[in-house]
Amino acid sequence: MSSAQAPKTPAALAALTLAALGVVYGDIGTSPLYALKEVFHGGHVETTTDNILGVLSLIFWTMTIIVSLKYVLLILRADNNGEGGLIAMLALATTAVAGRPALRRNLMVVGLFGTAIFYGDGVITPAISVLSAVEGLEVAAPQLHSFVIPITLVVLTGLFAVQRFGTGGIGKFFGPVTLVWFIVLVALGLPHIIERPGVLVALSPTYAISFFIENTLVAFIGLGAVVLCVTGGEALYADMGHFGRRPIRIAWYGFVMPALVVNYFGQGAMLLDNPAAIENPFYLMAPKWAQLPLVFLATGATVIASQALISAAFSVTKQAIQLGILPRMAVRHTSVRDTGQIYVPFINWSLFVFIVLAVALFRNSSSLASAYGIAVTLDMTITTVMTFYVIRYGWKYPLALCLLATGFFFVIDVTFFLSNMLKLVAGGWFPLLIGAGMFLLMLTWKQGRRLMGERLRDDAIELSGFLDAVFVSPPTRVAGTAVFLAAEPGLTPNALLHNLKHNKVLHEYNLFVAVQLHEVPWIGFNKRIEIEPLGHDCWQVLLNFGFKNDPDVPEALKLVEGRGIPLPDMDTSYFLSRDIVIPTFGEGMALWREKLFASMHRNAAAAADFLNLPSNRIVELGAKVEI
């Protein structure tokens, strides 16, 4: 459901709010497992009363500023036809500066980098979440220490193995289980706050400020762990298209934020009485009898949190493919009702391999915490930059207001980013390396497609002139309808040239179809098709799709019925050209990048599958393209 489709009844609103708990807030909801512990873990911050209160204040105001103010109040307003996420924001920002080509190119590169970095975050988050949950075994049953890594890997393997079945069946349990999780967070923290109510003074920002003034360097280093309390903040915006603004806001202010604050302050209250509990404050808050059940509940909650991130990775990948920044991949729909439920096998198993590598390499949640932060703070900073261009050039707000609104968040984001850069050697390089690799692939694919398009245009023949020449001495016409797929409208498809050259026939009816993918999420059927007659029973057809639409050419072409163009199922053939890329020295990209592009192009999923063409009515004709 998009934000434009607000829930019509209180029951619908309640159902959406409950669903949002499971999907949107699973990640940030499991951060109490490790966030407070990691601030003190490295030994830089001593567990004194002033430091504990200062860190609690920092955590509270970090959540307030970054999540409550930046994402929930400001960023959720920047929807692209009801859709959110970095790609939707990128489309909004580049559209807003369409009249400034150089700025648009730079924003596109920044947005591509942010999207690439998301995959690095997508590796670290499930690894640290599940591992930190299973580490509770060391508290409940220390003798099981050696089983922590194997159990973590078994849980993660099972999680990725079931992705191909979709989440439709188990998805309905996500919200209720996560609701139970938030109730347990309150139940764990509240008794300790009641015992030590003085801990609530840390709600005042003066404690965070004093902590910074008295321990400037240590506090700055500590920010690298404090940021763990907002893991998954980007999910609020990314999932807006599924739930709408209102359920996400109600869930945050009504359930999530209060539960997180109670739990963090409960941990803090316990530490004031027993600083040694910093070894694992989350699990040590619970009575001994409840620790093992808590491990099972925490593992379930982290699996749900990881599921939400994996689903987001599939969604981002599909949108990136539609926008032409990743090669076509097999995308399978796992639900006949919800088009948002998809499975991308290549991304699923690539994430799995890197997550297993992360668990094996870092071996505990504290080491993984060193790898976490750089990717997420980079994405937060990029989102803030994009927001400035949207509200300044898209919404036409005054410059001073735009600078004030986004400048404040930009300073906060950059401060957190610089603090996390101190963890670069300790593990921050890992998600950055994954992000940099994805960025190289995206940039190579985008530039390669541009070079290929330019070469095809240079060699192409204008369609209407070509048809005029053909019909001076027309070839034999055969019964049926031919649909020729072309990269651009107005140009003669290579498939037509090869068909005339080798088969020396032309069908009775001919459609020259170009598919245009736009930087908006959805394009309705009323704007799906543009048709222009070319004479001799030939038509130029332009099909328009948004980056969240599924390009379905046969379905879209049904809209031409009734215009004198017959499209009988068994008498319509689809002709398309399978281009073979030949890397060459000269202008364009470096030769190694051209070879990389050629390999990506060769291994991309078939265009016929991407466009949903019927496999028994396809004619593919090959052509070589030098770039």
Q: What confidence tens digit (pLDDT) does each residue in 86-117 have?
A: 888 888 899 899 889 999 999 989 989 998 99
Indicate if 385 and 474 belong to the same structural domain: no
Sign of CA dihedral 39, 40, 41, 45: positive
User: Does residue 27 surpass a pLDDT of 70?
Assistant: yes
Report whether 40 contacts 55 (CB < 8 A). Answer: yes
Which residues, in sequence order, are bridge partners of residue 582? 626
Amino acid at 92: L
What residue numbers bound the domain in which 500 lies?
A: 461-626
Indicate if 342 and 491 belong to the same structural domain: no
User: Does residue 470 surpass a pLDDT of 50?
Assistant: yes
Last residue of a domain, one of 447, 476, 495: 447
In a domain, 2, yes or no: no
Question: What pLDDT sits at residue 624?
Answer: 76
Question: What pLDDT sits at residue 1?
Answer: 37
The whole-angstrom distance between residue 585's C-alpha and the CA centroid of its chain comes to: 36
The torsion angles phi and psi of 512, rounded to 5 degrees, stand at -105, 105
Indicate if 202 and 176 belong to the same structural domain: yes
Which residues, in sequence order, are bridge partners of residue 622? 578
Burial class of residue 237 in the structure, from the number of CB atoms within 10 Å of its CB (0-12 exposed, 13-18 middle, 19+ buried): buried
Indicate if 18 and 47 belong to the same structural domain: yes
Indicate if 238 and 336 belong to the same structural domain: yes
Question: What pLDDT sits at residue 430?
Answer: 93
Last residue of a domain, one of 447, 473, 496: 447
Q: How confident is the model at residue 8 (pLDDT cuts 50, 70, 90)?
A: low
Indicate if 432 and 469 belong to the same structural domain: no
In a domain, 1, yes or no: no
Rounded to whole angstroms, the Cα distance separating 182 from 29 reads: 7
Q: Beta-carbon neighbour count of residue 625 at 10 Å? A: 18
Amino acid at 393: Y
Indicate if 194 and 76 belong to the same structural domain: yes
Query: What is the pLDDT averaged over residues 329-353?
Result: 82
Rounded to whole angstroms, the Cα distance separating 118 from 176 reads: 28
| Phi-psi label, residue 81: left if phi above 0, alpha if psi -120 to 50, beta otherwise | left
In a domain, 7, yes or no: no
Strands (E), 309-369: 332-333, 342-343
Q: Which token pair is 198?
A: 């003085």
Question: What pLDDT sits at residue 498?
Answer: 84
Report whether 294 contacts 184 (CB < 8 A). Answer: yes
User: Does residue 617 surpass a pLDDT of 90?
Assistant: no
How far, in Å, are 28, 214, 229, 284, 417 from residue 37 at the CA level?
A: 15, 21, 11, 11, 20
Indicate if 475 and 424 belong to the same structural domain: no
Amino acid at 594: E
Report whether 302 contacts 310 (CB < 8 A). Answer: no
The H helix count followed by the E strand count for the chain is: 27, 8
Amino acid at 289: W
b or e along 110-138 (b: 16 or more beta carbons within 10 Å of the residue's beta carbon)?
Answer: bbbbbbbbbbbbbbbbbbbbbbbbbbbbb
Question: What pLDDT sits at residue 58?
Answer: 96
Rounded to whole angstroms, the Cα distance separating 50 from 201 reads: 11
Rounded to whole angstroms, the Cα distance separating 319 from 180 reads: 33
Q: How many domains does the chain have?
A: 2
Q: Which token pair is 525?
A: 């059927």
Half-sphere exposure of 589 (CA within 13 A, CB side): 24
User: Does residue 345 surpass a pLDDT of 90?
Assistant: yes
DSSP state for residue 348 in the 8-state scheme: H
Q: How confident is the model at residue 3 (pLDDT cuts 50, 70, 90)?
A: very low
- Which of 66-80, 252-266, 459-473, 592-606 is most confident? 252-266
Q: What confidence tens digit (pLDDT) does each residue in 34-84 have?
A: 999 999 886 678 889 999 999 999 999 999 999 999 999 888 888 777 778
Report whether 532 contacts 482 (CB < 8 A). Answer: no
User: Does residue 183 surpass a pLDDT of 60?
Assistant: yes
User: Does residue 145 surpass a pLDDT of 90?
Assistant: no
User: Does residue 509 surpass a pLDDT of 70?
Assistant: yes
Last residue of a domain, one of 390, 414, 447: 447
Indicate if 484 and 424 belong to the same structural domain: no
In a domain, 6, yes or no: no
Lowest mean pLDDT segment, chosen from 53-62, 190-199, 331-340, 343-352? 331-340
**Residue 426: CATH number of its domain:** 1.20.1740.10
Q: Which token pair is 197?
A: 């109510």
In a domain, 455, yes or no: no
Which residue, among 449, 230, 312, has the nearest Cα to 23 in the 3D structure? 312
Which residue, among 533, 534, 483, has the nearest Cα to 513 in the 3D structure? 483
Lowest mean pLDDT segment, chosen from 82-91, 176-185, 535-544? 82-91
Rounded to 5°, the CA angle 353-354-356 comes to 65
Report whether 346 contacts 143 (CB < 8 A). Answer: no
**Most distant CA pair in the chain, distance:** 96
In a domain, 571, yes or no: yes
Indicate if 405 and 472 belong to the same structural domain: no
Sign of CA dihedral 325, 326, 328, 329: negative
Rounded to whole angstroms, the Cα distance separating 438 from 248 reads: 30
Indicate if 63 and 88 belong to the same structural domain: yes
Question: What pLDDT sits at residue 337?
Answer: 62
481: enclosing H helix or E strand: strand 476-486
In a domain, 224, yes or no: yes
User: Does residue 340 surpass a pLDDT of 70?
Assistant: no
How far, in Å, are 72, 343, 351, 545 from residue 526 at the CA level?
A: 33, 29, 38, 11
Indicate if 125 and 247 belong to the same structural domain: yes
Question: What pLDDT sits at residue 6?
Answer: 59
Query: What is the pLDDT averaged over residues 165-184?
Result: 82
Report whether 481 contacts 571 (CB < 8 A). Answer: yes
Rounded to whole angstroms, the Cα distance separating 504 from 140 reads: 78
In a domain, 79, yes or no: yes
Q: What confidence tens digit (pLDDT) does each residue in 197-239 have?
A: 999 999 999 999 999 999 889 899 889 999 999 988 877 888 8
